[in-house]
Amino acid sequence: MKKEKRTVLIVDDSLLIVERMIPILEEIENISFVVQAGSFREGLEVLDTLNPDMVLLDINLPDRSGIELLRIIREKHTEIIVLMISNQADDYYREICRSLGARHFLDKSKDIDFIPEVLSAAC
């Protein structure tokens, strides 16, 4: 049975990380569309207009915390799968994000290569 194609939103203000992630995501068979937002506000706008299947979300955003955006996603868009990707990958932040409903939490500096495996399993 063929899995349905998915849309992924990356909410991260690091252009370097986004430029590294987009080609990785485009190689995943059941991801059809990748869109990027560089701030909390842009992320909210995309969520309301596009309604993606998955969100890759950083904690440190220039205008507000990604943790707050995670809370909003869980309240308004319960069907969206959220994967946290952050340099703040200590147990404190991992626990907060998991308790708020993040499906996975990856360390940007060392786990970025696991994104295809994690997203393929989540699709």
pLDDT digits (tens, 9 = 90+) for 53-73: 999 999 999 999 999 999 999
pLDDT exceeds cutoff 90 at 3: no
Give the angle subtended at the CA of 40 by the CAs of 60 and 91, to the nearest 5°. Answer: 35
**What is the Cα–Cα distance from 62 to 113, expressed in whole angstroms?**
25
Q: How many domains does the chain have?
A: 1
Q: Please give the pLDDT value at position 123.
A: 62
**What is the Cα–Cα distance from 1 to 99, expressed in whole angstroms?**
33
Residue 45 neighbours by CB under 8 Å, 6+ apart: 37
pTM exceeding the 0.75 threshold for the entire prediction:
yes
pLDDT exceeds cutoff 70 at 32: yes
Mean pLDDT, residues 24-33 taken together:
86
CATH classification at residue 53: 3.40.50.2300
Q: Is residue 81 part of a domain?
A: yes
The residue segments making up the domain with residue 17 are: 6-118
Q: Is residue 19 part of a domain?
A: yes
Q: Is residue 1 part of a domain?
A: no
